[in-house]
Structure 1
Amino acid sequence: MSLESVPPKYAQLVQALQRRIESGDYPPGSMLPSENQLINEFGVSRPTVVAALRVLREQGWVESQQGKGRFVRGRPAVTGAEQPRPGQAYLTAPEAASPGEVVQAGAVTVPNRIAALLDLPSKNKAFLRRRLIGKDGEPTEVVSVWVPLDLAEGTALTQSEPLDQGLREHLHSRKGVRFDHVVEQIVARMPAAEEAKQLGMPKGAPLLVVYGAVRDAAGKALAAVEVLLPADRHELQDVYPIG
């Protein structure tokens, strides 16, 4: 299993505490549990807890008051300004909301990187659904999603028409699974000849490739996403606070 496909322990703790803040278990103004309490409850080391609390403070979820402890501030307002990442947008938005066509749908032998993201042995098969998305009559990106074969059974992923749901909602309604988090990686590389042709890319233009490992709350792999973005037509933007 690829170590990159699972969030580090401090990131998992950050996500757990964020969910508690959002659910009201830790309401704004309340005191966060102490480091020792978090160590005992989650079974992690002190450096893991310290790293998670630092992230929460830097992102604006909590604040430290010297001599008193850490207090909950709530969900930072800046998170609402964040733009959906390419992988996230495909998982949540209905396919029908973006112009494109399904160019491949079926069981395939997964590439090594995708096998690692899905926790599959090398040369195993998974279900692939690939769409070529365009804008103003020109191709802009290729979005591929791989799903374990048993999870694809009984779904509409095999159909050539665009889904009227996002992948997350569709798999939840058909299979009862819940997406909890995505581990995203972005790399730059030169396109393969077929990719360059499919996207109408000029010679020498690089690709931005977004990989997403989709997991449930227990860390089980549910899907892997790959988004191919011609670098000369896209830029990736993020918004985050500075503590």
Structure 2
Amino acid sequence: MSFKYTPPKYAQLIAELERRIESGEYPPGSPLPSEHQLMAEFGMARPTVVKALGVLRDQGWIVTHQGKGRFVRGRPAIASGQQTRMGRELLDRKEAQVESSLLSAGPVPAPNRIAAYLNIEPKSPVVLRKILVTRDDEASEISSTWVPADVAEGTPLTGTDDLKQGVRRYVEAAAGIQLDHIVEHVTARNPTREECKLLGVKPSAALLAVYAVAREATGKPWVVVETVLPGDRHELEDAYPIK
């Protein structure tokens, strides 16, 4: 038996309004049809229309002026469905889908920086999983995942096989929680001896170190993913609306 997926009504309305904005039917600065007009045109209840409009506002497609109505802003710099933030990509990346080699996987004492990010005592037991990622036969980055030892124990994070899911899924399943948001920290520094050898860079080279700290809704941190990037091989770019 085959099943055909039908998006919920509010999602259908979002898709249609986005299409009209992108096509120029609703140009930037123009007023959006009122809630009542949209309800009549699409045969939807007011809560459904309000939910769709709220999503479009939060994503930057439209803006609300008190007492005047809703107006089109235009296509966001990067539409939410296409936005790829580095921390999210690192948490969801599957090792089986990238060209990589495992450098280490096992318990270590938490370095001071990682301990601070995880809100634990320095030297507390954590599991470190480190891989070297290559692209076009050239070392591209060193990616390290730090998880409290009691969470990582018994999961594939300590094994030698390529991870078939992103780190996020293993941590959520092991801890019985849902990760809610990521805080990123970016620093620049010179490489260690090991990084010079692995990345093929000189001791004077500039590296970018990106730390993504994943937290649950309460703010409690559960995992840190660090990626070290040679500065001459990477460029970080982000785009977001000005509100």
TM-score of the alignment, normalized to the shorter chain, above 0.5? yes
CA distance in 2, matches of 1:215, 1:25: 32
Q: Residue 84 of structure 2 aligns with which residue? A: 83
Note if contact 2:155-2:174 (Cα within 8 Å) is conserved in structure 1. Answer: yes
Unaligned runs of 5+ residues in structure 1 are 1-23, 33-55
How far apart are 1:151 and its partner, in Å? 0.6
The one-letter code of the counterpart of 1:28 is: A
How far apart are 1:112 and its partner, in Å? 0.9
How far apart are 1:143 and its partner, in Å? 0.5
How far apart are 1:137 and its partner, in Å? 2.3
Q: Residue 120 of structure 1 aligns with which residue? A: 120
How far apart are 1:207 and its partner, in Å? 0.2
Query: Whose RCO is larger (CA < 8 A, sep 6+)?
Result: 1
- Structure 1 residues 165, 58: closer, same or farther in 2, change over 3 A? closer
CA distance in 2, matches of 1:146, 1:215: 13
Deviation track 1:23-80 (CA, whole Å, cap 9, x = no partner) reads x7961346x9xxxxxxxxxxxxxxxxxxxxxxx9796277332347999x9x966223
Q: Residue 160 of structure 1 aligns with which residue? A: 160
The one-letter code of the counterpart of 1:133 is: V
CA distance in 2, matches of 1:107, 1:220: 21
Q: Residue 35 of structure 2 aligns with which residue? A: none
The one-letter code of the counterpart of 1:27 is: K
Q: Residue 131 of structure 1 aligns with which residue? A: 131
- Structure-1-length-normalised TM-score: 0.70
Larger radius of gyration between Structure 1 and Structure 2: 2
Matched, 1:28 2:29: no
The one-letter code of the counterpart of 2:81 is: G
CA distance in 1, matches of 2:221, 2:61: 28
TM-align CA RMSD: 2.9
Matched, 1:198 2:171: no
- Structure-2-length-normalised TM-score: 0.70
Note if contact 1:83-1:237 (Cα within 8 Å) is conserved in structure 2. Answer: no
SS of corresponding position for 2:157 = coil
Counterparts of 1:179-190 in structure 2 under 5 Å?
179-190=179-190
Q: Identity of aligned pairs, percent?
A: 45
CA distance in 2, matches of 1:136, 1:241: 34
- Structure 1 residues 174, 26: closer, same or farther in 2, change over 3 A? farther
Q: Residue 105 of structure 2 aligns with which residue? A: 105
The alignment of Structure 1 onto Structure 2 pairs a total of residues equal to 193
SS of corresponding position for 1:240 = coil
SS of corresponding position for 1:147 = strand
Note if contact 2:190-2:203 (Cα within 8 Å) is conserved in structure 1. Answer: no
